[in-house]
Structure 1
Amino acid sequence: MRISTVTMFEQSVTSLNRQQGDFLKVSQQIASGRRVVNPSDDPQAASRAVGVDQAKAVTQQYADSRVSARNSLSQSESVLNSVSDAVTRAKTLLIQASNDTLSDADRQSVAFELRGVYETLLGQANATDGNGRYLFGGYKDDSEPFVKSPTDGKVEYRGDENIRRQHIDSARTMKVTENGKTIFQIQPGGDAEGLFTTLENSISVLETPAETDADKAELRDTLSTSMNELDDSLDNVLTVRASMGARLNELDVVDAVGGNRMLNYEQTLSDLVDLDYAEAISEYSLRQVGMQASQKAFADLKGMSLFQYL
C-alpha cells in the first residue's frame, strides 16, 4: 500500500492540530479554574450546573428579601419601643395630675407637657423607613397616615388597613410591619376610643378649670378612664413589639437554613464544574509533551522528500 507524501503531511497536520487543541483546552481550564468551560466539555454536568445556578439565584433573592424584612421590622420595633416609653410617660403625668392638691395652673402645666408627648407620638406614628415609605400606613405612601382633622384638630387615620408582607423563603411570607390603625387606634377588644383620642380627652380636661364639684368629678373620671385606656394601649404596643421580636428571631433561623442551602449549592456546583488542579497540571504536562512530539514529527516530515536525493 502506497502512502503519498500529501497524505502523510495531512495526517501530521491533523495530529498537530489535535494536540494543540487538547493543550489549549487544558490551559483554558487551568486559567479559569473550571473543568467545564464550555457546555460541550461535559453536557450533563453543564446542564445540572445551570439548574444549580438558578437555585442559587433564587436563594440569594430570598436572602436579600430577608435583609429588607429585617430592616423594616427593626425600624418598626425601635419606633414602638419609643412609643411604649411615651405612653408610660403619659401615664406618669396623668397620675401626677390626679393629685387633688394641684391647682388649675398646675394641671395646665401638666397638660402642656402631655401635649408634648402627644406630638411625639404623632411623629412616631408617621415614621418612615428611610426610603419615604410610612411604616404604619399600610400600602398608602402618598401622604402621612395620621393627620389632624382641619375641623376639630383630632388625629385621624388616613392610611389603609393592609399590612406589608414579604417572601422570606419559598414557603414563607412574613409581615414586615403592622397596620397603624391596629397599633394606635383600636383598643383591645375592638373599642374604637384609641391612643390619640385618650390623650386628647386628657389634655382637654386638664386645660379646663375645675371650679365646681361637677367639674372636679369629671376631671377624676376622665383621668381614671384615660389611665386605664393608656394601660390597654401600652399592652397592645408591647404585644405588637413582642410579635416583631419573634419575627426577627425567625429571620435568624431562616437565614441559617438559607446559608446552609447556599453552601450545599456551592459545593454541588464545585463538584460539577470546578477543576482538580493536581489532575489538570498533570494533564497539562502530558499534553505539552504530546504537542512537542507532534511538532517535531511535523518538522521531520517536512524534510522528507525523494527530491532531496535527485
Structure 2
Amino acid sequence: MRVSTTQIFRNGIGAIQDNQQGLARTQLQLGTGKRILSPSDDPSGAVQALQFRSSVEKTEQYQRNGNIVEQRLRLSETILTSVGEGLQRVRELAVQGNNGSQTNETRRYIAGEIRQILDELVQLSNTRDANGEYIYAGLTSLTQPFSPGAGGEVFYNGDDGQRRLQISPVRQLAIGDSGQAVFMDIPTGNGTFVVRDDPGNTGGGVIDAGSVIDFNAWQADTYTISFSEVGGELFYEVSGGGLPPVSTPFVEGEAIRFAGIETRIQGTPADGDSFTLSPSENQDLFATYRQLAEALEAPVTDTPSRARLNNAVNRALVNLDQALGNILDTRASVGSRLKTVENQRNINEDVLLQLRTTLSEIEDLDYAEAISRFNLQQTALQAAQQSYVQVQRLSLFNFI
C-alpha cells in the first residue's frame, strides 16, 4: 500500500489535534471542577444532575420563604407584645378610674391617657413590613387596614384572608393574621352573654359580668331583670326566653339564677330600674377603649351617675379581658408557627445537604484522576508534536 507524504502529515496533525482537544477538555474540567461539561459526556448523569439541581433550587426557595415567614411573624410578635402591654395599662387605668376616691378631673386625665393608648393602637395596627406591606390587612396588603372615622370609631378596610407561603413540598404557613381576627372580632361580655344597665336607671345597682353555670340549660336569648317596689320592699322579675313571670325579693349580692346562668347585683336598684342580658356579640378593641374613655369623661354627680360609671367600667373590664385573651391566643399561634418554621428549616437544611452531596457525586470532578490524566495527555501531546517534527524531516529532498 502506498502512503503519501501528505497522508503522513495529515495523520500527524490529526494526532496532535486530538491530543490538544483532550487536553483542553481536561483543562476545562479542572477549571470548572465539573466532570460533565455537556450532556454528551454522560447523558444519564446529565439528566440526574438536572433533576437534583432543580430539587436544590426548589428547596433553597423554600428556605427563602421560611426566612420571609420568620421575619413577618417576629414583627407581628413584637407588635402584639406592645398591644398586650397597652391592654394591661388600660386595664390598670380602668380599675384606677373606677375608684371612688377619683374626682371628675382626675378621671378626665385617666381618660386622656386611654385615648393616647388608643391612638398608639391605631398606629400599631397599621404597621408595615420592610417591603411596605401592611401586616394586618389580610390579602389586601397594600391597603391601609385601619382608618379613624369622624365620630372616633375605627373602620377596617382589609379582609379576613391570610397570606401563605410554601416552606416545603407539602407545607404552607400563614405569614400573618388579619386585622379582622386580631382587633375586630372580639366577643363582648364573658364570651357567652353580656350584661347592660338601662341608661334610664335611677338607682345605685351595679351588675357583674355573670357566668354560665349550666350550658345545657342556657338559651341564647335576651333577658331582662326588672325591679319594682311593692309595700316598701324591692322585688325583681326576669323576663325573656319563655320564662314564666316570677316576682322575687331582691337581696343585694345574692345570686340571680335563671336559664343556666347567674349574675349578682351590688347596691340598691330603684323602682323601675332594669338590666339586660343578651348573647355576646363581636366588638373591636378600638370601640372598647373609646367607650371606656367616654365613661370616665362623663361627670359623676350623684348615685345614679356613679352606678352608670361602675357598670360601664365593669363592662369594659370584661371586654378588655376578652381582648387580652384574643391577643394571647394570637401570640400563641404566632409562636407555634415560628417553631414550625424553625423545624422545617432544619429539615430543609438536611435535605439540601443530601441533595448537594448526591449532585456532587454525579457531576463533580475527581481531581486526582483528572490531574493524572492531564499529565498523561500533556506528555502524549508533546510526544506527538516531537514525532511530527521528526517525520516531517523524512524527505528525499534532504538527501539531494
Distance 1:130 1:12, change over 3 A: closer
1:197 partner amino acid = A
Corresponding residue for 1:135? 135
Q: Does 1:90 align with 2:90?
A: yes
Corresponding residue for 2:155? 156
1:73 partner amino acid = L
Paired residue secondary structure (1:288): helix
Q: Name which of structure 1's ranges 162-171 and 187-196 shifts more when overlaid on structure 2.
A: 187-196
Match of 1:240 among 315, 324, 330: 330
Work out the number of aligned pairs and report it: 309
2:371 partner amino acid = I
Give the helix-richer structure, 1 or 2.
1
Q: Note the aligned Cα RMSD (angstroms).
A: 1.5
Corresponding residue for 1:300? 390
Corresponding residue for 1:26? 26
CA deviation string 1:76-99 (max 9, x = no partner): 111001000000000000011111
CA deviation string 1:251-304 (max 9, x = no partner): 011101111111112112211111111111111111111111111111111011
Paired residue secondary structure (1:156): strand
Corresponding residue for 1:58? 58
Q: Name which of structure 1's ranges 87-96 and 53-62 shifts more when overlaid on structure 2.
A: 53-62
How far residue 40 of structure 1 moved from its aligned partner, in angstroms, is 2.2
1:197-236 maps to which residues of 2 (within 5 A)? Answer: 197-236=287-326
Corresponding residue for 1:256? 346
Counterpart-to-counterpart distance in 2, 1:99 and 1:212: 15
Instruction: Return the index of the structure with the highest Cα Rg.
Output: 2
Paired residue secondary structure (2:177): coil
- Bigger RCO (CA 8 Å, 6+ sep): 1
How far residue 228 of structure 1 moved from its aligned partner, in angstroms, is 0.9
Corresponding residue for 2:103? 103
Paired residue secondary structure (1:116): helix
1:5 partner amino acid = T
Distance 1:271 1:125, change over 3 A: same
CA deviation string 1:53-94 (max 9, x = no partner): 111111111111111111111111110010000000000000
Q: Structure 1 runs of 4+ off > 3 angstroms? A: none
Counterpart-to-counterpart distance in 2, 1:235 and 1:191: 16
Q: Name which of structure 1's ranges 196-205 and 131-140 shifts more when overlaid on structure 2.
A: 131-140
